Amino acid sequence: MIDISQQQHLLAQVSRSFALTIPLLPAPLQDYVGNAYLLCRIVDTLEDEPALDCQQKQALLSQFLAALAEQALAADFTAQAKASLSAATPAAEQALMALTPEVLARYRSYPAEVQAVLARCATIMSRGMAGYQQQDCSQGLPDLAALDQYCYFVAGVVGEMLAELFILHCPELAPKRDQLLALAVSFGQGLQMTNILKDMADDRARGVCWLPRELALRQGLDLALEGWGQDQAGCQRLLDELAGLAQGHLQDAMDFTCQLPVTQQGIRQFCLWAIGMAILTLKRVVSQQGEAKITRRQLRGVVLASRLLGRSDTLLRWWLGWLRRGCSVRHRSPQALRDLTSQWDRLMMSTR
């Protein structure tokens, strides 16, 4: 079983942003969330592996879920997964895959209710990604509803997981559970949409596109055409539209954060850093200021503002408005996203 320092080292190797924010959480949340992220990263690594076809990815994802349920299966899964990864997979992710049994052993050391929360997240993510492996995503997703669903599988469910863990840590949040879960899904949606826009060119280069075709056509872009990315005006209109929607979700993220007790500054700071970095990344993407990655100076600004304003909901909302100045916002109801999770839960129950 890996220890907490080894877990943090793995996080630093596979994710710069989460390695920065997870240590802000109080014990034992830092441990639980760190492990959960590594479980999700294992799923991501299999989903991203270019050398695997759809059936191979689905089989490995099913094996991973079996290993999650039974530790004795972890070694066989790890051996097959390691052998399936190509040189295209970063060395850090290959190292993580090799340590899957140790990561799972740490997961099994947690209280049963924590294991249940993490297992639900990993299961929905794995099965959701497996479903998308059956689709041709080279020409985008059909519409915004399909984008919502995809973002739920890869990020919205992580938001739900965080909300459930926060409630376990702060039982006084239990009466707000439904509201927090809805906002948490939207929180994840905003972060994932930011990543999709930031990585749009890289995804296109590897033959994948997560943009909604219906919305692109309304902006004069046909994602089925090979050279659609050369239409700078159309791409800018699409970027503006999707960034506005993403910022609406990040408004929900701030609403989520303001529901958390001011005494829980570690949890609040964890959320605020993510929101601030996402807003600044979106602005760089939309303005096409070269590299989308925010600067160290911008990061320091987010950290300072979060620490100074973290106890005042009024000042936090003002800060969010100041960060996103100059950008339009189209708010998307978190209830619509919550309906997606309800449909998925019913499907999960019907297939057991």
Which positions ≥6 away from 323 have C-beta within 8 Å? 276, 279, 280, 283
Calpha distance 155→131 (Å, rounded): 15
Q: State whether the Cα torsion 10-16-22-23 is positive or negative.
A: positive
Helices (H), the chain: 4-14, 16-21, 29-48, 54-69, 74-84, 91-98, 100-108, 112-132, 144-151, 157-169, 177-198, 200-205, 213-218, 232-258, 265-287, 296-309, 313-323, 334-350
Which H helix or E strand runs over 282? helix 265-287
The whole-number pLDDT of residue 227 equals: 79
Q: What interhelical angle do 100-108 and 54-69 show, nearest 10?
A: 40
pLDDT, one tens digit for every residue, the chain (352 residues): 989 899 999 999 998 888 889 999 999 999 999 999 999 999 999 988 888 888 888 899 999 999 999 999 999 999 999 999 999 899 999 999 999 999 999 999 999 999 999 999 999 999 888 777 777 777 889 999 999 999 999 999 999 999 999 999 999 999 999 999 999 999 999 999 999 999 888 888 877 888 999 999 998 888 888 778 788 888 888 888 999 999 999 999 999 999 999 999 999 999 999 999 999 999 888 886 556 778 889 999 999 999 999 999 999 999 999 998 766 555 555 555 555 555 555 445 444 4
- Is residue 224 a contact partner of residue 144, using CB atoms and an 8 Å limit? no
Tell me how far apart the alpha carbons of residues 318 and 302 are, in angstroms, rounded to a whole number: 14
Number of residues in the chain: 352
**Gap between the Cα atoms of 138 and 177, Å rounded:** 38
* Angle between helical axes of 334-350 and 177-198 (0-180°, round to 10): 100
Query: Which tokens sit at 61?
Result: 């994802």
- What 8-state DSSP symbol labels residue 211? S
How many H helices and E strands in the chain? 18, 0
Residue found under tokens 């990993």: 122
Q: Which residues contact residue 19 at a Cβ distance below 8 angstroms, ignoring those fewer than 6 apart?
A: 8, 11, 12
Give the amino acid at 37. Y
CA-based torsion, 215, 220, 224, 230: positive or negative: negative
The region that residue 270 occupies, defined by phi over 0 for left and psi between -120 and 50 for alpha, beta otherwise, is alpha
pLDDT of residue 13: 92
Q: How many beta carbons lie within 10 A of that of residue 240, not counting itself?
A: 14
Q: Are 265 and 303 in contact (CB under 8 A)?
A: no
pLDDT at 347: 47
